[in-house]
Structure formats: structure tokens, C-alpha cells
Amino acid sequence: MRAMVMDYSNDEKTYDIDDQFMFGPAFMACPVHKYKARERKVYFPSGVWYDFYSGKCIQGGTAMDVDAPYERMPLFVRAGNPVYERGAERLNRLCLRRCRRLLHLI
């Protein structure tokens, strides 16, 4: 897990972002930290990003309000990573299996 500025040090807009982070080279996690909030503003650094759940393509260099339903945290994948190229549906199944295994270990 890294602060956005670690991957995007040339982008001054990332310097003050303290509520989004990179999880590995592909994922950008954007947790909701306000009580009962169901959307939040997310800054997308340069490049192309995909919504992990819907597959919606988002052009970087912009900020936008994204849905943040109670059931899931806003999560985005940087384009060009093999993780997303495999398809979000397959990836969701793999992640779900791994999470279930981890929960059984606790």
C-alpha cells in the first residue's frame, strides 16, 4: 500500500491526497470515511482507469464523484495491467475465493 504521491510524484494534485491509495501496481482504493456517505470525490491521475466492478473506462487527469454503496469500496484498476485484462468477472471470482480462504484461517 502506497500514498498516491509515491506513484505520481510528477502530479502535484496527488501531494495532498490522504484518502486514496495504491494497492500494488494496479489497484487504486478509495475508501469512504464519512458517516452515511454513498458517494465520494476521486482524483484519477494520468492514464486510463477502469472501475473494478462495472468496467467503466475513466480518463485520468480528472476528478469526479463516484458511487460508494454501502456494500463495496470504490476500487479502480490502472489500464495496461494484466490483472484487469483477464476480465473483472473472473477476477471477482478469484478474489472472492481468496477472501473466503483467508476468513477461514482467522
Query: What is the 3-class SS of 65-77, one letter each residue?
Result: EEECCCCCCCEEE
Smallest Cα–Cα separation from 78: which of 25, 33, 36, 42?
A: 25
Q: What angle do CA 71, 91, 38 make, to 5 degrees?
A: 20
Cell of 77: 484498476
Residue 91 clears pLDDT 90, i.e. is over it: no
- Between the two ends of the chain, the Cα-to-Cα distance in Å is 22
Cell of 24: 500494488
- Per-residue model confidence as pLDDT tens digits over 56-83: 889 999 999 999 998 889 999 998 876 6
